[in-house]
């Protein structure tokens, strides 16, 4: 079925409530495993229906931004979606208390019951009003993120897209001026963003306490279905500071020398890799889609079939504001959104989302649906690995800029480990100290910058960006709290697969496929073990992949590239 032929219908809340309630009652009161199983499968299909309608609404709101109907649907889902968690908890209770629990585990695996434990502990009717208020605050945040529409620069008024282009200008002083102009506009809005975050953090802490946790951190680990602990993450942060920051610092020193800029670097130079400018793709969106099909056909029969399905059935939207992956589980099809805007980063995002959607495709018929669309720590494994696997086709996507893109992506992959870890560390600190003032939060961000990104100068000379306020634009802190570390952990695995790819591409691909084929049927570390991959929580693994990448960068041929 083509996407244009899929009808969106807002679910009737009363019918959904009655449907879930009735099925949960059947599950709880079943006299045989066959009865319990039938109720469970019906509930899984109802979950697929509601999830698919939510996603279709989201997609079409992005396709048709001025359509009032889909704006209203967003408000509906913001209010109704938290109620669904209550039903998932009730289903989890019925499943875990069922006399047929062993039979469920035998047929569907232990991971389903572990997920049920998380649902039981992470949801409650007591916090549904708080979750609705949380969504209202997130709507406010989203509106503030769209508030900067006009930026004065060199006697003109520019939109955000135009200023973004100038922030990659080959003239370092002009690049700096563009960041200053942009930062001055964000500086005016910053107090309002601080106000929203302050309300959000106190609301979330209260939610945790209502469910008998010390605060929000333990609750969100449960909501995210984390099979690793905050103590594991704390040890990982220590390993990042010990092993990764020094390697990233050496890479950044090389970068500053290459572009002829001072070290430590101005923030405006941090993502600028070459005097002649960063890499750009060799064609427009239509070209990149065709090139992606050629690449995926060459990679494997499975990837070729997957991407052909996406294109032929309109499951690919290339004019979005950013990259988003979705799984329309009722129809057993993924959907990929990306903004192919002519930047190198948009191609990276394209391949990232392709990794997600390929995994959904490979697991589309799994039951329960949570095995096809598992927790973020698992789904990001598929996408972060695909970003680096797709370097095999750098020449196809980038032509003459292929070497530029390849070198920069590996360098960025190392530096991102430090940045992403800093984002996670910041969240832990501000939630452990929810009464911090906005000024104290900004100061804490600057302190962490000194630890995790010592190659950047933060002296306040660039408004907003140089004043410890950059975290406000990291949307995950607001909209997907504590998820950001998943990108980091899985990025380490991606580098592990990439390193193997340099020695044995066939073996690297087989291990990736072994990972993808498992879907969400096991916990994070078990999935890796079964695929023959190491856990990023192993300090030696972290050290090895970073040193391997640095050695590769040192030997990379940049002849003729300025």
Residue 471 structure tokens:
């975290």
Reported as a pLDDT band with limits 50, 70 and 90, residue 159 is very high
Average pLDDT (106-124) is: 97
- CA 512 and chain centroid, separation: 19
pLDDT of residue 85: 93
Residue 176: C-alpha distances to residues 160, 182, 459, 499 (Å): 15, 10, 14, 35
3-state SS assignment for residue 262: coil
Helix (H) or strand (E) holding 317: strand 316-317
61 has pLDDT over 90: yes
pLDDT of residue 276: 96
Tell me: the pLDDT tens digits for 76-98?
999 999 999 999 999 999 999 99
CB 327 within 8 A of CB 371: no
562 has pLDDT over 90: no
Beta bridge pairs of residue 265: 456
What is the rounded CA–CA span in Å between residue 267 and residue 455? 9
* 196-200, 476-480, 515-519, 543-547: segment of lowest average pLDDT: 543-547
pLDDT of residue 96: 97
Give the whole-number percent of the chain exceeding pLDDT 90.
98
Average pLDDT (166-181) is: 97
Tell me: the pLDDT tens digits for 227-266?
999 999 999 999 999 999 999 999 999 999 999 999 999 9
Q: What single DSSP character describes residue 457? A: E
What is the rounded CA–CA span in Å between residue 2 and residue 21? 33
Tell me: the pLDDT tens digits for 368-416?
999 999 999 999 999 999 999 999 999 999 999 999 999 999 999 999 9
If you write DSSP's letter for every residue of 492-531 in order, what string do you get? Answer: HHHHHHHHHHHH-HHHHHHHHHHHHHTTTSS-HHHHHHHT
Tell me: the pLDDT tens digits for 326-374?
999 999 999 999 999 999 999 999 999 999 999 999 999 999 999 999 9
Strands 151-153 and 156-158, how do they pair? antiparallel
Reported as a pLDDT band with limits 50, 70 and 90, residue 437 is very high
pLDDT of residue 174: 97
pLDDT of residue 7: 96
1 has pLDDT over 90: no
pLDDT of residue 541: 92
Q: Please, where are the H alpha helices in 5-67? A: 13-29, 33-63
Tell me: the pLDDT tens digits for 460-495?
999 999 999 999 999 999 999 999 999 999 999 999
């Amino acid at each position: 079925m083509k996407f244009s032929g899929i009808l969106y219908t807002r679910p009737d809340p009363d019918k959904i409530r009655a449907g879930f309630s009735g099925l949960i009652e059947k599950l709880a009161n079943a006299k045989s495993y066959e009865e319990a199983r039938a109720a469970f499968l019906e509930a899984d299909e109802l979950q697929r229906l509601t999830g698919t309608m939510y996603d279709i609404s989201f997609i079409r709101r992005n396709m048709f931004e001025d359509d009032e109907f889909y704006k209203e649907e967003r408000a509906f889902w913001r209010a109704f979606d938290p109620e669904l968690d209550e039903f998932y908890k009730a289903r989890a209770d019925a499943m875990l208390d069922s006399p047929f629990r062993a039979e469920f585990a035998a047929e569907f695996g232990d991971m389903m019951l572990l997920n049920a434990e998380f649902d039981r502990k992470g949801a409650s009717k007591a916090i549904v009003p708080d979750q609705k208020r949380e969504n209202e605050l997130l709507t406010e945040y989203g509106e503030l993120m769209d508030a900067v529409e006009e930026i004065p620069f060199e006697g003109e008024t520019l939109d955000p897209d135009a200023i973004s282009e100038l922030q990659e200008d080959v003239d370092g002083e002009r690049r700096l001026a563009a960041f200053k102009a942009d930062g001055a506009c964000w500086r005016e809005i910053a107090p309002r963003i601080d106000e929203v975050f302050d309300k959000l953090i106190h609301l979330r802490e209260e939610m945790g306490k209502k469910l008998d946790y010390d605060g929000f951190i333990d609750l969100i680990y449960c909501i995210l279905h984390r099979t690793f602990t905050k103590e594991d993450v704390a040890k990982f942060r220590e390993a990042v500071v010990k092993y990764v920051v020094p390697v990233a610092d050496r890479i950044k020193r090389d970068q500053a020398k290459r572009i002829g800029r001072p070290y430590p670097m101005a923030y405006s130079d941090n993502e600028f890799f070459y005097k002649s400018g960063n890499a750009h793709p060799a064609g427009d969106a239509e070209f990149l889609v065709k090139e992606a099909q050629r690449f995926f056909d060459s990679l494997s029969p499975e990837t070729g079939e997957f991407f052909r399905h996406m294109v032929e059935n309109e499951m690919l939207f290339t004019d979005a504001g950013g990259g988003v992956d979705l799984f329309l589980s009722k129809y057993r099809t993924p959907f990929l959104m990306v903004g192919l805007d002519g930047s190198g980063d948009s191609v990276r995002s394209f391949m990232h989302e392709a990794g997600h959607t390929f995994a959904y495709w490979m697991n589309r018929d799994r039951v329960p649906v949570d095995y096809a669309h598992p927790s973020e720590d698992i789904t990001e494994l598929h996408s972060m690995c695909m970003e680096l696997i797709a370097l095999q086709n750098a020449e196809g996507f980038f032509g003459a800029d292929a070497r530029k893109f390849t070198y920069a992506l590996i360098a960025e992959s190392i530096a991102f480990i430090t940045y992403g870890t800093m984002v996670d560390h910041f969240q832990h600190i501000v939630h452990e100290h929810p009464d911090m003032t906005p000024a104290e939060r900004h100061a804490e961000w600057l302190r962490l910058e000194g630890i995790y990104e010592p190659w950047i100068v933060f002296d306040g000379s660039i408004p907003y960006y140089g004043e410890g306020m950059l975290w406000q634009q990291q949307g995950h802190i607001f909209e997907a709290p504590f998820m950001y570390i998943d990108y980091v952990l899985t990025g380490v695995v991606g580098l592990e697969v990439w390193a193997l790819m340099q020695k044995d591409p066939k073996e690297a691909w087989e291990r990736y496929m072994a990972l993808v084929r498992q879907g969400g049927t096991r916990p994070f570390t078990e999935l890796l073990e079964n695929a023959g991959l190491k856990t990023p929580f192993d300090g030696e693994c972290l050290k090895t992949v970073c040193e391997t990448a640095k050695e590769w960068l040192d030997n990379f041929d940049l002849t003729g590239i300025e």
